Structures are given as structure tokens and as C-alpha cells.
Amino acid sequence: MKTESTRVTSFDVAEKAGVSQATVSRALAGSTIISEATRDKVLQAARELNYHVDERAASLRQGRTRSLAVVLIARLDGAIDAVNPVAHAVLAAVLRSAGRRNLQALVSYQASEAEFAGDFPDRGLADGMIVIGTTANAAAWDYFRALDDGVRKVAYWGGASNDLAFVRPDNHGGARQLTEYLLSKGYRKPVFIGASDRYQQQFRERLEGFNAAMQAAGLTAQTIDTPDDLMREEQGRRAVDLLLDDGIDCDSIFAACDASALGAIEQLRRRGVRCPEQIGVVGFDGIAAGNHSFPTLTTVRADFDAAGEALVEMALADSPMSRRVPVSLVERESALGPKV
């Protein structure tokens, strides 16, 4: 008789059901060669014995771990509170998508070179890998770029290089739509602010969309390149100071990301400039904080659920192909139109 400390096995289920252990394995795996009557008998025996399949052992026998490695790249200083909210949103979407597939997620937070690790699939710890995080950590992207050999199953959110298998929002289309929105509200002199270092592929695409909309409207596009070694909010603040101190003629700001837009709104208020009446502000990403600023932030939001699904699918694919996820305009209060 089994005691509480004795582990029930498939052989015990087979004995109780009056079948072979192989029949138990096939029945619990859903094999079609097992009759419904036999399957019901096995399932009943398993319930009575409180037997549960060792899914990890079964997966390993099949050459799979049923796990995904998810790497979250942080800034070199490793500050937890400095992680971009977009990365958190994408991480949550990835975990939900993995859960829907009954996959476990091995999450690794990496900031310094001593922490860099991308060999989870090679070590048999995961079936694939997803990399999310800031492009401000150049050393991390150099590491993962060198590691990517086209054989490992790896998917990247954003991606610091166009030849990586990335998932990105429709940056160009979203930026063009957002610029056209600014123009429809009566703004005529918007300035694009954002970093343009070699890893900032997403910001570059957003700038291209901004420029395309301005050119189509017959207007001059203005840009301010912000230092990428600053926090995004500080980039927005510095850009506002530059605009006001240098007397740059503008009536609105298109920030490359929401965090910079929120920093810009804050600094405009400090400098006594009314937003949106004197200078309107829009961002890109759709982070939750934009709904709580004053004024609330008009932005473009990426479909994070679709991003999570795409990243998980790509991380499990033999030949992952880059994908775009849709975006949508979120109209709030920060760009309702200029007023004299």
C-alpha cells in the first residue's frame, strides 16, 4: 500500500486500471490508438491515485524543455527603477503568451558584462530565447549580436540591428499618423526629439515617418538629437531647455518615446510654458504613465499582446522572420491645438 511519502508512478496506475504501463503512457499522452473506454479507465485510475504526469521528464524525453529564456537588458548601472516601462509591458505580454502555451519562462535580468548570458538553449535550459531591453546598453547588444549565428532560436523586441529576427511596432506608419494628427490640430512647426545612436533603429524609423509626413505637407522638419546616455525623461527635459534657451521656433514636440515626452511636459511646466496651448507634445509607445500626466499624453500605442504572441512564436520557430505589430493613436490632452 502506498504511503503519503511514496510517489505514485505510472506503473501503479497501470496496475489499478488493469492495463500495461505503455498503455497508461499512451492514454495520458492523448494517443489516438487507445480506445475511449481504455482511456477513461486509465484517467479514472489516475484520479483515484492522485497521479500527475511528470511533464518535465516527458518533455526531456521528447528533446524539449517546454521553457523559454527571456533576457531583460538593463542600463549598465543596473538600476531596477530605470527599466523602460515598455520593456515591462512586453515582458508581461511574453509571459502571458508563454502561459497560454503551457510554457515556463526563465527570466534573466542582465546589465553588466559579468551578467551577460545567452546560452540557455545550448545548455538545454530552454527551447528558445527572447531578448528585450534598452538600446542604451551597447555592450549587451554587442554581446548578443556576436552570439546570434542564425541557428539559435532567438527573437528580439525592437532589435538593435536590422539583420536580427526582431518584433517591432509599425514605427514609420505610427509616426506618420501621429505627425498628421499634430498638423490636423493646427500645429505647423513640430520638432522631433530623440537619440539617433547606431542601436536606435526604432527611433530612426519614427523619425523617418515624421519626416515623410512633414514632406507630404510641404513643411520643414526640425529635429533635436538627444544624448543616449541620459535617461529618457532627462532627454525630454534637456530638449525643452534647448528649444527655449536657443529660441527655436516651434509650436509642438514629437518625442521619440513616451518617457521623453513626459520629461518634456514636466519641463515645459517648470519653464512656465502652457501645454498644449503654447507647445503641444506627443509621444510614442503607450505606457500607462501617459494617462496620469498633466496634461495627459497623446501617443501611439503598440499592440503589446500581439508583440508577446509574435515573440514567443518566433523564439520557437526554426527560421524566425521579423514581424511588425500594429499601433493605434491614443488621443488625450497634450496636443489639442495651439491657442494665442
Q: For residue 291, give the 3-state DSSP assignment.
A: helix
* Amino acid letter for position 135: T
- Contact indicator for 270, 299 with CB cutoff of 8 Å: no
Q: From residue 95, how far is each of 69, 231, 305 by CA, in Å?
A: 11, 26, 10
C-alpha cell at 7: 510517489
Domains of the chain, earliest start first: 10-53 (1.10.260.40), 67-168 (3.40.50), 170-302+326-330 (3.40.50.2300)
Digit-coded pLDDT (tens) for 117-126? 999 988 889 9
Longest CA–CA span in the chain (Å) reads 87
Contact 135, 158 (CB under 8 A): yes
pLDDT tens, position by position, 142-183: 999 888 776 678 999 987 778 888 999 999 999 999 999 999
Mean of pLDDT values over 191-211: 89
Q: In this predicted structure, what is the pLDDT of residue 150?
A: 67
Three-state secondary-structure class, residue 261? helix
Residue 226 is given by DSSP the state P
Q: Reduced to 3 states, what is the DSSP secondary structure of residue 298?
A: strand
pTM, 2 dp: 0.80
DSSP state of 185: T
Peptide bond into 121 cis (omega under 30): no
When pLDDT is averaged across residues 184-210 and rounded to a whole number, the result is 91
Residue 53 Cα distances to 29, 56, 113, 211, angstroms = 9, 9, 40, 57
Strands 299-302 and 327-330: antiparallel
**DSSP H helical ranges for the chain:** 10-17, 21-29, 36-48, 55-61, 85-100, 138-147, 171-184, 201-216, 232-245, 258-270, 304-316
Among 41-55, 117-131, 215-229, 237-251, the range scoring the smallest mean pLDDT is 41-55
**Averaged pLDDT, 199-215:** 93
Cβ atoms within 10 Å of 313's Cβ, excluding its own = 16
Which amino acid is present at 158?
Answer: G
Find which of 19-33, 109-123, 125-139, 260-274 is predicted with most confidence, using mean pLDDT: 260-274
Band of the pLDDT at 135, cuts 50, 70, 90? confident
pLDDT band for position 189 (cuts 50, 70, 90): very high
CA 228 to chain CA mean position, Å = 20
Beta bridge partners of 191: 222, 253
